[in-house]
Amino acid sequence: MADQYGLITSQLVALLGEPNVTVADDTIVVRPSSGEEIAAVFALSAQAGMSARSVGYAVGPAGEDSGPADILISLEKMNQIIFDRQTTTITVQPAAEMAKIVDAARESGCIFKGATCRHKKGTVGENVAACFSSGEPDFQCATPCLCGLELVLTDGSIITVGEKLVKDLNAYQLTYLMGGNREEQAVLSGIHLRPLPAEQEEFWLVTSLQAPDGLPGLWRLLNREYRGAMEAALDLKLERYPELGEIVPWPQLPPACSLVSLRCRPAELEQLLPLLNDDTFVASGAYQKQLIAAFCGNLAAKLKADPQLTCVEVDEEERDINSAGLEAAYWRKEEGKFSLFYAV
């Protein structure tokens, strides 16, 4: 028996590397990093007439078995998270932490609904395995995001269930459970998830200006790459409208300012922040956004009704804007033009 353990231990070391094989008493603990390595471990254990069992990431009725095994398969190293922007899917290994999947989805402008899984396990594989724990799948928490699985059977074969794209896993006939493998243990080696697009929010960018002679300030900077997100832009001298200083927390009221309304996902906003200077801040609090939106909405009518101002409308593509005497500039996406207000 000792010779048998010595032989398979040397084979496992050759397969996985010495740091990934530990012998404790009569148990060999292995740490594979891929489904192929898990399959090879099962194949070697079968050749040696030994039992092998995964720790925490097995599915099927046999997945609940916690009895002794000659070889314990620990998937702690299998924690990769890969986001595919082309297909908007996340492929993860079973030991990937739920919190890190949430962060990866958020950074890509998406929401990972699996974060609300009622099993509340720390890794995605533990949650998926829990969905199968009764021998029949419970997809109440997995449905919004699970679309495919890669499984390693104990005979060393690798199968896939569902697809990486389009359909939910539970919309299928559950190839694994319904295809004659009901009583056989399988180890999770890959999980395909479909995150959902994050909801768009309204943000206001506020920049201090020494004078509106650079109009249309922020608008011109953002128009090329972020036009689709911009809803409105307003540049104005603040001498006439000091009440804006009660909404925006400037240490000292600047001579002029530029305000741009954006409707986008939080991750998209983060991408454009490096383009802005230190005099720009994001108004994102709900109450503050409401106050700024109300101020800008009312200001358009005030500017047009002010007898001390005259309005000139120009196409938004106009580059040669006369800034002499310019008090304010207002742009709305649906109009596709600037309303320029000059002192009479």
CA dist 12 and 1 (Å) reads 16
For 215-273, how does the pLDDT look when each residue is reduced to its tens digit (9 = 90+)? 556 777 777 778 888 888 888 888 888 888 888 878 888 888 888 888 887 767 777 77
The reported pLDDT for the residue numbered 141 is 52
Look at residue 27 and give its three-state secondary structure: strand
For the chain, where are the E strands, in sequence order? 21-24, 27-30, 52-54, 58-59, 71-73, 81-84, 89-92, 110-111, 146-153, 158-162, 186-193, 196-197, 201-209, 230-237, 256-264, 280-283, 309-315, 326-332, 337-343
The reported pLDDT for the residue numbered 16 is 95
Domains of the chain, each with CATH number or no CATH:
2-73 (3.30.43.10), 81-197 (3.30.465.10), 201-343 (3.30.70.2190)
Angle, in degrees to the nearest 10, between helices 124-131 and 98-107: 110
The reported pLDDT for the residue numbered 21 is 94
The per-residue DSSP string of 249-280 comes to: --SS--SEEEEEEEEE-HHHHHHHGGGS-TTE
The reported pLDDT for the residue numbered 211 is 65
The reported pLDDT for the residue numbered 338 is 85
Quick one: tokens of 159?
């199968």
Regions of the chain where pLDDT drops below 50: 62-64, 135-140, 142-143, 166-180
The reported pLDDT for the residue numbered 245 is 87
Ramachandran region, residue 334 (left: φ > 0; alpha: ψ -120 to 50; beta: rest): alpha
The reported pLDDT for the residue numbered 71 is 93
